[in-house]
Structure 1
Amino acid sequence: MSSRRDFFKYAGIAGGAVAVAAVGRYALSGAPELVTQVNANTMPPLTPSTGRPYNPVVTLNGWTLP
């Protein structure tokens, strides 16, 4: 005899298996490339060579936001 708890446990396992199988190798191709640094110093922000000047936001860990 199976209980409602067993049903939800097996349904969760089956749902997780379907979700893992649905993610292809190409799924992460749209993710941005990781930024790596050798030291812990904050890097200066990137400034565009053309276009309107702007004041970029500098964040911790070397990440800069547009």
Structure 2
Amino acid sequence: MQERLTELEIKFMEQEQTLEALSEQVYLQQKEIFNLTQQIKILSERLKTLAVSPIASQAEETPPPHY
């Protein structure tokens, strides 16, 4: 009986350590997801400011043929 109890205690401790490791991993992944989401927002805003205008700028315009 004592041997069985010791075995169960060992298994419980191993499961507890596994849960702690998994919890830490989930926490780190959540932080990474948050950081990546923030970077995507920043890049999205930058892309909006760099959006191509359908009208070319004066510098990009080719001069008329009579020049």
Name the TM tier (shorter chain).
Answer: 0.3 to 0.5
Tell me: higher relative CO, structure 1 or 2? Use CA pairs within 8 A at least 6 residues apart. 1
Greater fraction strand: 1
Greater fraction helix: 2
TM-score, scaled relative to structure 2: 0.34
